[in-house]
Amino acid sequence: MHARKAGENMTSVGIIGLGAYVPPHEMSNEDWAEIVETSDEWITTKTGMKKRRIADADTHTSDLAVEACKRALDDAGLTPADIDLLILATSSPDVPLSSTAGIIQHKLGCVDCGAFDINAVCAGWVHALDVGARYVGTPGYDKVLVVGSEIYSRILNWQDRTTCVLFGDGAGAAVLGEVEDGKGVLGSWLMSDGGGAGVIEIPAGGVRVPIPSEGFSEGMQYFHMDGRAVWDFAIEAFPQAVHGALARVGKTLDEVDFVIPHQANINIIKTGMEKLGLPMSKTFTNLHKYGNTAGASVPIAMREAFDEGLISEGDLVVTAAFGGGLAWGANVIQF
C-alpha cells in the first residue's frame, strides 16, 4: 500500500486471488412481467438488464459469500486457515446482528481470524478493499479476505415495480496479500454524504422505526429508492470518484487501461464513461446477466473481466462504486 504517512507500513498490497459466485436460479425480464406491470423492452431500455440470479429461500448471504471465498482461496492457492482477517461488504446481512462476516468465518473454517462487516451499500466493495489493503503487512495480518455478498431479492418489495426488477443476488471475493513493489492497490478515494441518506434506505427495522411500532406502516421494511435522485447522484459520483482516486496516487486518465464500475445501470455507466472521456471499450458490464448485485457487483465484474482476457498483468485498473449513504469511491490497482 502506498501514499502512507511517514512511519506507516509501506508493503505493496494486491489481489492474489479472486472468486465470484451467483446462485443458479435465473429470472428474466419476461418472468418479472408476469408479476408486476412492466416489460422486457422497458427494463432493457431503462437499465440494460435482461436477467438476474435469485437465491433459493434456504440460501443466505453468508452462503453465497462462502462459495465466492472458496473460489478466491483456490485462485490464490491458500486455505481458510491462512486468512488473518475477513471483511464483508453487505447491506443485506443474514441478520441485523451479529456480524454476517463472523457467520462466514465460521462456515468457511477460518479458525484463527478476525471478522467484521462494512455497510456502504453498493459502494461497500471499494470501501472494504481499501480497509483490507491497509491491514496487510501490519503485525499479524499477512492475508486478508475481502468479500461482497448480497441477497437483495429478500429485502425488496416484489410489488414495487420501480425497484424489484433492478436487483439480483451474488457474491465476489478477493484475497489480499503482499505483491511486488509498485503493484497492487496503489490507493483509494472514498466519500460520503449523509444528507442523502434517505435517497436509498430501508425505512423500518432499526431503532428509528422498529417493527412493529406506532410509526411503522406496511412496506417500510423493504428497500426504497428515489430513482431520479440516484441518477443525478450517480452520473456525477462515478467520474468524480475515478478522478479523485487517480489524483490521490499521482496517476492520470491517460494511464488507465480499464475501469470497472458498479453495475447499477447501463445508462449510468455510459454517461459516466462519456464524462470521463473514455470509450466503452475500456470498461466491462455484466448487468444484462445479473442485474444490480449491489456490494457484490464490482468483484463479480472483475472476475469475469479477467476470465474474458480483458485485464492482464501490467494493466492499471480503476474500480468505482456509488450507492446508498450516500457513499461513493474508487480504488486504483496496478496488476
List the catalytic residues.
122, 262, 292
Asked if 305 and 260 touch (Cβ cutoff 8 Å), the reply is yes
- Residues whose CB falls within 8 Å of the CB of residue 223, separated by 6 or more in sequence, listed in order: 152, 155, 156, 157, 163, 167, 200, 201, 202
Amino acid at 163: T
Amino acid at residue number 142: D
> In this structure, are strands 114-118 and 85-89 parallel, antiparallel, or unpaired?
parallel
Name the H helices within 35-159: 40-47, 61-76, 100-108, 124-135
3-state helix, strand, coil in the chain (%, to 5): 35, 25, 40
Total Cβ atoms within 10 A of residue 65: 33
Residue in the structure block whose three cell numbers are 465484474: 301
Query: Backbone phi, then psi, for 120, in 5-degree steps?
Result: -125, 30
